Amino acid sequence: MTAPLPMRVGLIVDHPKRDLPGATMLAHRLAVMGAQTVLVPLYDQAVDVPLLGLDALIVNFARPVNLELVRGYTKQGVPVFVLDTEGGILAENGANAPTVLAGYIRESGFAELLSGYFFWGTQLHKAFVSGSGMQPERLHVTGCPRFDYAGPQWRELLKFPQHGHVLVNMNFTLVNPLFSSSPEEERAAVLAAGWAPNYIDTLLREMKDAFDGMLAAVETLASSLPSQAFVVRPHPFENPEIYRARFSKFANVTVAGAGSVLNAIRPARCVLHLNCGTSVESVMLGRLPVSVEYLNTPHLAGHSTLPSKISFKANSPEALLDAVQRADEIEKSFDFPGLYEQFIEPWFYLNDGKAAERVAHVVIAAIRDQPRRNPSLAASLASSRASSRPAQRAQAIVANLVGSRAASRMRAWTEPVRRGKRLDPVQVGGDIAALAGLTGLAAPSIAAARHPITGLALASVEVSPR
């Protein structure tokens, strides 16, 4: 008798540098539970998802930009869950305040489309219970799998070529964007997300001043402490070239943005930042977060309130220099457990390395008894939309004719921004093998997903249990 096919779960991966570690953590956990995961690149999802015969799909957000796609997926009969890639560092007011996010889910129609929503912490969950219109049993507090690597059982996987460095985490995407041609284009995108023009204009102006101040601060530190190594890490959505040009004259400054930020934090002496969410990961890993507070403003701090609250504050350039020099001493008396419990846990849940396990259990339970979905060539050719544009239909036809992996490679030549968002099966395999090696279990098998009719390689990557 033929063995039943494993359950097949799709997982949209937005930006591999930031999101792939969490995606592989979840794929590994699903494989342990006997399910197959298909990692789907963000830009290729409309073509690939209908071809994959999924039992469930986990998307990376619920926003206006993917509402039509989610409608298309649910029309195909695929249960859709949300595991947001941005969910812990939220504003108290504005377009990404918890009550506003919950209200959008209710008013947009997402509430009727989604089979489940996973939350990083209890605060956003509470807002959704009261204001999203979704049934409470579909709202799950799990934590985010990408932070599982900070859990004690996974930390030894965090490798980095340097040790004892001062990590400077930059967070200036609005004024130094990588995926937009200019700050003006970035402004338009933020306005489209629902922020008020005056709010954004003030934010941009003050962020530009803070950006200039942060560049100057690193120069001063590097000059004052020539024997101390500094690693400047651009945000994944930032253009790194300005940092390379600005700090090229300093032998003790390295600009490095590859891999997960957790890898760079674990062996660092301390982490310098301004309103950056990586202060959370610093506390998770017991590394001193230092806020360059003298560059902060009430408006900037109000846009992201948590990082300053959980950091050692340097209120002057002199205090910053002193904090770097005395980082080891300050760290010994820094209240990591107390700050985590008071400020971080409500937004990020438990630092126990088990978020992926919690997500996997919910998804498996939800789809266990549901019938398998067949691939749909028609939906793929329509780009998963009820009314796709001519350009979208043309791109879908090409992707189906040559395989979406080849089509994605071709588009990356004309749109370089896409290169950083493609998935490499070799990298996925290496990450999965490392997880399996630590648990002592057989590593899942890795392969490019295949077109159900032509057999051509798709942009998506399959992670299958042995």
Q: How far apart are CA 257 and CA 270, in angstroms?
A: 17
User: How many CB atoms lie under 10 A from the CB of residue 5?
Assistant: 10
pLDDT tens, 26-50? 999 999 999 999 999 999 999 999 9
Nearest to 152 by CA among 438, 429, 450, 465: 438
Give 265 or 421, the one with higher predicted confidence.
265
Share of the chain above pLDDT 90, in %: 79
Q: H-helix or E-strand containing 8?
A: strand 8-13
pLDDT tens, 385-434? 999 999 999 999 999 999 999 999 998 888 877 778 899 999 999 999 99
* pLDDT of the residue at 304: 82
Mean local confidence (pLDDT), 178-199: 73
**Residue 138: pLDDT over 50:** yes
CB 356 within 8 A of CB 21: no
**Residue 451: pLDDT over 70:** yes
Q: How far apart are CA 258 and CA 264, in angstroms?
A: 9
Mean local confidence (pLDDT), 426-455: 94
Poorest-pLDDT segment among 11-20, 74-83, 188-197, 221-230? 188-197
- Strand pairing category for 457-464 and 36-41: antiparallel
* pLDDT of the residue at 319: 98
What are the backbone dihedrals phi and psi of residue 118, each rounded to the nearest 5 degrees, phi first?
-105, 135
User: How many CB atoms lie under 10 A from the CB of residue 385?
Assistant: 17
**Residue 3: pLDDT over 70:** no
pLDDT tens, 223-254? 999 999 999 999 988 999 999 999 999 999 99
Mean local confidence (pLDDT), 209-236: 97
Question: What mean pLDDT is reported for the chain?
Answer: 93
Q: 326-334: which pairs have CB atoms within 8 A and are 24 or more residues apart? A: 327/166, 327/269, 327/270, 327/288, 327/290, 328/269, 330/270, 330/288, 331/270, 331/286, 331/287, 331/288, 334/288
Q: How confident is the model at residue 2 (pLDDT cuts 50, 70, 90)?
A: very low
Poorest-pLDDT segment among 187-191, 333-337, 427-431, 443-447? 187-191
- Strand pairing category for 230-233 and 253-255: parallel
pLDDT tens, 286-323? 999 999 999 999 999 988 889 999 999 999 999 999 99
Q: How confident is the model at residue 134 (pLDDT cuts 50, 70, 90)?
A: very high
- The total number of residues written for the chain in this structure: 466
Q: How confident is the model at residue 200 (pLDDT cuts 50, 70, 90)?
A: confident
Which amino acid is it at 429?
G
Share of the chain above pLDDT 70, in %: 97
Phi-psi region of 366 (alpha: psi -120 to 50; beta: other; left: phi over 0): alpha
**Residue 95: pLDDT over 80:** no
Give 13 or 179, the one with higher predicted confidence.
13
Q: How confident is the model at residue 123 (pLDDT cuts 50, 70, 90)?
A: very high
Nearest to 103 by CA among 79, 82, 124: 124
Helix pair angle (425-439, 16-32), 10° resolution: 50
Q: How confident is the model at residue 196 (pLDDT cuts 50, 70, 90)?
A: confident
* pLDDT of the residue at 178: 81
Q: Which domains does the chain have, with CATH numbers?
A: 8-85+144-149+353-464 (no CATH), 159-348 (3.40.50.2000)
Mean local confidence (pLDDT), 256-264: 90
* pLDDT of the residue at 230: 98
